[in-house]
C-alpha cells in the first residue's frame, strides 16, 4: 500500500509538472481564443495521456483508474477545457475497447490510443438532455447498414473530432454508432461563446441521410444507452469529478497566494477570520472530494459494481464543492477576480458547467436518493441484502 501511494505521488508529480509547464501558462489564452492548439494535443498524445484509459495490449499506457483520476485532476487544475478533451476522448476509447468487435478494435484503437484520431461523445440533442429517452435521432436499417438522421448539440470537441460515438434510435431501440467525420451527410457547425470550458470547441452535428456500414454499430443493437452509453458516462463522470477536484485545488492555490499579498485593514487578507473560514471550507472540500474520487477509482480497479454509485457521489460532491469554492475565490479576489483574464473568474465559469454536464446536480440528487431508498429497503429485508457489505 505504502509503495502504491509513493508510486502514485511520483506519477502525480509528473502530471503536475506537465500541467504547470504546458497548460497553466496558456489556459487564459485557450479560454479567450476558444480553442486548444493542435500542438498541445500532440504533446498530450505523445505523453500517452489521450490513450490513458486503454490497457497496454490496446496500445495505452496501462494506467490504473486511480492514476487516471490523478491525471484528470492535474489537467483539470490547469484548464477544464483541456480536461474536457481528455474526458470525451477517453469515453470513446473506453467504449470501443469495452464493446468493440475484434475488427472494430483493430481498426479504431490504434488511432485512439496514439491520439492520432480524436473521439467525441454525442448523446445530447436540442430537445433531449437529461432525459435521454427523448432522443429523436434515428438509425434506419438499410440493405448495407444504417441511415442516420438527426441533430446532436453541445458536443465537446465536436469541431475537431475524427470519430463520433453517436446514439440513435434503431428499429430495436437506442443504439451506439461510430461515425467518421468524413461520412457524407454529416455537417459540423461550431458553437461559440459558451459560458465555461470555452476552449473545448463545442459543435452541433447534423446527420442528414448519413449512411454507415454494419460495422459502425458498437455493442448490441438496442443496448446503446444501457450498455455502451452507461459505461462511457461512468468514465466521463469520473473524469469530470476528478477535474472538479483540480478546480478546488486551483482555487485554494490562487486564494492562498492572493490573501498573502493583498492588504486590507493594515494586514494581509489572510489574517481576517472571515477569509480563513472560506479557505478552510475550500481545503476541507478539496480533501473530501479527492478521497471520494480515489474511492471511486479504487472500486473501478477492483471491478466492483459499487464504483458506479461511488462515482455519482464523487461527481455530485466535487462539482458542487468546486462551484462553491470558485464563487468564494472570486469573492476573495474582489474586483480583481471579475476582470477579463482573471483565473478565478475562469474557474467560476468552468465550475458552473460541471454542475450541468455528465448528469446535472438534480439528476445526481435523484439517483443518489434512489440508491439510499434501495439500501434502506435492503437493510430492512435482510434476505434481500444477503451478506454483502453495504
Ligand X SMILES: Cc1cc2nc3c(=O)[nH]c(=O)nc-3n(C[C@H](O)[C@H](O)[C@H](O)COP(=O)(O)OP(=O)(O)OC[C@H]3O[C@@H](n4cnc5c(N)ncnc54)[C@H](O)[C@@H]3O)c2cc1C
Q: Catalytic site residues?
A: 358
- Which one of residues 18, 49, 99, 154 is an interface residue with ligand X (CB under 6 A)? 154
CB proximity list for 290: less than 8 A, separation 6 or greater: 73, 245
- Which one of residues 55, 129, 220, 268 is an interface residue with ligand X (CB under 6 A)? 129
Stretch that binds ligand X, among 67-75, 128-136, 261-269, 323-331 (CB under 6 A): 128-136
Q: How far is the CB of 8 from ligand X (least distance, A)?
A: 28
- Which one of residues 363, 368, 371, 385 is an interface residue with ligand X (CB under 6 A)? 363
- The neighbour count for residue 236, using CB atoms within 10 Å, is 26
Stretch that binds ligand X, among 52-60, 203-211, 266-274, 361-369 (CB under 6 A): 361-369
Q: Which is nearer to ligand X, 209 or 370 (CB)?
A: 370
| Strand (E) or helix (H) holding 87 | helix 80-99
Report d(CA 134, CA 91) in Å as an integer.
22
| Strand (E) or helix (H) holding 321 | helix 307-333
Q: Which is nearer to ligand X, 156 or 307 (CB)?
A: 156
The footprint of ligand X on residues 196-255 (CB under 6 A) is: 197, 202
Grid cell listed for 136? 429523436
- Which one of residues 52, 93, 113, 123 is an interface residue with ligand X (CB under 6 A)? 123
Torsional class of 262: left (φ above 0), alpha (ψ -120 to 50), beta (otherwise): beta
Residue count, binding to ligand X (CB under 6 A): 21
Are 216 and 224 within 8 A, CB to CB? no
Q: How far is CA 72 from CA 22, 292, 306, in A?
A: 15, 14, 21
| Strand (E) or helix (H) holding 15 | helix 2-18
By the rule CB under 6 A, 362 interacts with ligand X: yes
Stretch that binds ligand X, among 19-27, 100-108, 117-125, 206-214 (CB under 6 A): 117-125
What is the 3-state composition of the chain as percent helix, strand, coil, each rounded to the nearest 5?
Answer: 60, 15, 25
Per-residue contact string for residues 47-76; x = within reach of ligand X by CB under 6 A: ------------------------------
Report d(CA 295, CA 246) in Å as an integer.
16
The footprint of ligand X on residues 294-333 (CB under 6 A) is: none
* Of 365, 354, 326, residue with least CA distance to 342: 326
List residues binding ligand X (CB under 6 A): 88, 121-124, 129-131, 154-156, 194, 197, 202, 353, 356-357, 360, 362-363, 366
Amino acid at each position: 500500500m505504502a509503495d502504491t501511494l509513493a508510486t502514485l505521488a511520483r506519477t502525480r508529480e509528473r502530471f503536475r509538472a506537465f500541467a504547470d509547464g504546458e497548460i497553466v501558462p496558456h489556459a487564459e489564452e485557450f479560454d479567450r481564443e476558444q480553442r486548444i492548439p493542435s500542438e498541445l494535443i500532440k504533446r498530450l498524445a505523445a505523453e500517452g495521456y489521450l490513450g490513458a484509459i486503454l490497457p497496454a495490449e490496446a496500445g495505452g499506457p496501462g494506467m490504473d483508474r486511480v492514476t487516471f483520476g490523478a491525471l484528470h485532476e492535474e489537467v483539470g487544475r490547469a484548464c477544464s477545457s483541456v480536461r474536457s478533451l481528455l474526458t470525451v476522448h477517453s469515453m470513446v476509447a473506453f467504449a470501443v475497447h469495452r464493446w468493440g468487435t475484434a475488427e472494430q478494435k483493430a481498426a479504431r484503437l490504434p488511432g485512439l490510443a496514439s491520439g492520432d484520431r480524436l473521439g467525441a461523445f454525442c448523446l445530447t440533442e436540442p430537445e433531449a438532455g437529461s432525459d435521454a429517452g427523448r432522443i429523436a435521432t434515428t438509425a434506419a436499417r438499410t440493405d448495407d447498414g444504417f441511415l442516420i438522421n438527426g441533430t446532436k448539440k453541445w458536443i465537446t470537441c465536436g469541431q475537431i473530432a475524427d470519430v463520433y460515438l453517436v446514439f440513435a434510435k434503431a428499429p430495436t431501440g437506442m443504439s451506439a454508432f461510430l461515425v467518421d467525420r468524413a461520412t457524407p451527410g454529416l455537417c459540423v457547425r461550431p458553437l461559440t461563446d459558451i459560458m465555461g470550458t470555452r476552449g473545448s470547441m463545442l459543435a452541433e452535428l447534423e446527420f442528414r441521410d448519413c449512411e454507415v456500414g454494419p460495422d459502425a454499430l458498437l455493442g448490441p443493437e438496442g443496448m446503446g444507452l444501457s450498455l455502451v452509453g452507461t459505461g462511457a458516462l461512468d468514465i466521463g463522470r469520473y473524469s469530470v469529478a476528478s477535474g472538479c477536484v483540480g478546480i478546488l485545488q486551483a482555487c485554494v492555490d490562487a486564494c492562498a497566494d492572493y490573501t498573502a499579498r493583498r492588504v486590507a485593514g493594515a494586514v494581509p487578507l489572510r489574517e481576517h477570520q472571515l477569509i480563513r473560514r472560506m479557505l478552510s471550507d475550500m481545503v476541507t472540500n478539496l480533501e473530501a472530494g479527492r478521497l471520494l474520487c480515489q474511492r471511486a477509482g479504487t472500486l473501478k480497479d477492483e471491478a466492483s459494481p459499487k464504483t458506479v454509485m461511488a462515482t455519482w457521489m464523487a461527481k455530485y460532491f466535487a462539482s458542487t464543492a468546486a462551484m462553491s469554492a470558485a464563487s468564494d475565490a472570486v469573492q476573495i479576489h474582489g474586483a480583481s477576480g471579475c476582470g477579463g483574464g482573471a483565473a478565478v473568474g475562469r474557474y467560476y465559469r468552468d465550475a458552473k458547467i460541471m454542475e450541468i454536464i455528465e448528469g446535472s446536480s438534480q439528476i445526481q440528487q435523484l439517483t443518489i436518493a434512489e440508491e439510499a431508498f434501495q439500501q434502506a429497503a435492503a437493510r430492512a429485508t435482510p434476505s434481500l441484502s444477503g451478506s454483502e457489505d453495504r
